[in-house]
Amino acid sequence: MIEYLFYLGLSVLFIYAEPMIELKRLLGFKEEEYMNYGKVKQWIHKLIHCLFCSSLWITLILSFNFELSVIVSLLAYILENKLK
């Protein structure tokens, strides 16, 4: 259970923490310029700004456990819908 919360918290920080938002902007992924991007850059933009997607990939890369990744991403999806 603690492992689920760790990866969920890490994913939330990746999406909503101010230093990470600034880093994404420095790398050229700005929300206001999304429509001007090519298809590949739009796809990458969606991956690094979506809590559901980011939590799946962050957990999968760090833990190499697909089942854990799916559970964490579903928890992230539920959390994101509660935050809206």
Tally of structural domains, the chain: 1
Question: What is the Cα–Cα distance from 47 to 2, expressed in whole angstroms?
Answer: 25
Q: Tell me: pLDDT of 7 over 70.
A: yes
Structure tokens at 15: 């999406």
- Residue-wise pLDDT tens digits, 45-73: 888 889 999 999 999 999 999 999 999 99
Question: What is the Cα–Cα distance from 79 to 55, expressed in whole angstroms?
Answer: 11
Residue 4 pLDDT grade (very low, low, confident, very high; cuts 50, 70, 90): very high
Q: Tell me: pLDDT of 36 over 70.
A: yes
Structure tokens at 84: 């809206």
Q: What is the pLDDT of residue 83?
A: 73
Structural domain harbouring 22: 2-83
Computed over every residue of the chain, the mean pLDDT equals 91
